[in-house]
């Protein structure tokens, strides 16, 4: 079994999901990557049911789903859209509260035996779920939010992953763009921007939380790099099995992010950050309160 850290570091890595654009993102990715399929790593996900053929016992559509029949239906659909014979890393996008994770893991084991997926992972799972899933079919990676902006995964999840030898793939490694330095305490988000419903970004909380942004900007200035590079470099300096996945639609931002590959914080710098971080008390949920209560319990 390839580790996530080795897989991702060896080849260009692309993270998508069937739910992104209801499959359209996978189709777009296939157009770009089909000519170089053997030279890239593709991760995609299932878990938010898009398919009419997957229903509950009363014939009703299911939302979040981890049933074996659903997983096997979903992977076939993703393989078709991606125009590939295999998926390097296949995630369960969210844990299904109504299906034992052992059933999902068993389905993933079957898909690995069939060669349809090479590795599997879970997104947004707690340490207990990770242990149960890993016992049935070894996990390669777990994906969840992690950055200077949100660090709860350090309490139980990261120690568990280190113990079990599972890679970690942080999403929102730039704190939903706040760590790029482009968001200020009085920034107004456009109508429809999801950050409008995230308590950590509301006006009252940002009056306090901007302290972390300003601190990162000072670190960046001292090292002669950008705030985004500091934020990503901090993550890359934590463990060699952590591989952040920043997202952007702006080529200039992508170039900025790539520069983080050469940014590392020394042990002394990390220790200094920890001392300073204890004086910065971030307030507000990292997601809408209902979502956070479901994911982080």
Question: Which residues are part of the catalytic machinery?
Answer: 20
User: Is the CB of residue 49 less than 8 Å from the CB of residue 84?
Assistant: no
User: Is the CB of residue 18 less than 8 Å from the CB of residue 46?
Assistant: yes
Write out the two tokens for 149: 């902006």
Sheet holding 13-15, edge to edge: 13-15, 41-46, 87-92, 117-123, 141-145, 167-171
User: Is the CB of residue 114 less than 8 Å from the CB of residue 67?
Assistant: no
Say which residue the tokens 């983080």 belong to. Answer: 260
User: Is the CB of residue 12 less than 8 Å from the CB of residue 88?
Assistant: no
User: Is the CB of residue 242 less than 8 Å from the CB of residue 173?
Assistant: no
């Amino acid at each position: 079994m390839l580790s996530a850290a080795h897989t991702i570091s060896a080849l260009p890595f692309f993270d998508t999901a069937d739910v992104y654009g209801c499959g359209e993102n996978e189709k777009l990715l296939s157009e770009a990557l089909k000519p170089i399929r053997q030279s890239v790593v593709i991760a995609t996900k299932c878990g938010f049911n898009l398919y009419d053929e997957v229903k509950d016992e009363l014939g009703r559509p299911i939302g979040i789903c981890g049933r074996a029949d659903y997983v096997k239906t979903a992977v076939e659909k993703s393989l078709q859209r991606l125009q590939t014979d295999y998926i390097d890393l296949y995630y369960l996008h969210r844990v299904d509260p109504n299906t034992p994770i052992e059933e999902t893991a068993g389905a993933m084991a079957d898909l690995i035996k069939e060669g349809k997926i090479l590795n599997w992972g879970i997104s947004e799972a707690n340490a207990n779920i990770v242990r149960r899933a890993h016992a049935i079919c070894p996990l390669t990676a777990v994906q969840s939010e992690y950055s200077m902006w949100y660090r709860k995964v350090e309490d139980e999840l990261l120690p568990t992953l280190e113990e079990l030898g599972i890679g970690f793939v942080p999403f929102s490694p730039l704190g939903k763009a706040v760590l790029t330095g482009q968001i200020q305490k009085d920034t107004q988000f456009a109508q429809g921007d999801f950050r409008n419903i995230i308590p950590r970004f509301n006006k009252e909380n940002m009056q306090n939380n901007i302290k972390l942004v300003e601190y990162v900007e000072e670190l960046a200035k001292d090292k002669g790099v950008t705030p985004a590079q500091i934020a990503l470099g901090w993550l890359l300096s934590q463990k060699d099995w952590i591989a952040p996945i920043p997202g952007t639609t702006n080529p200039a931002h992508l170039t900025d992010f790539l520069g983080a590959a050469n940014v590392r914080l020394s042990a002394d710098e990390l220790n200094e950050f920890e001392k300073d971080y204890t004086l910065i008390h971030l307030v507000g949920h990292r997601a809408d309160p209902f979502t956070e209560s479901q994911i982080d319990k």
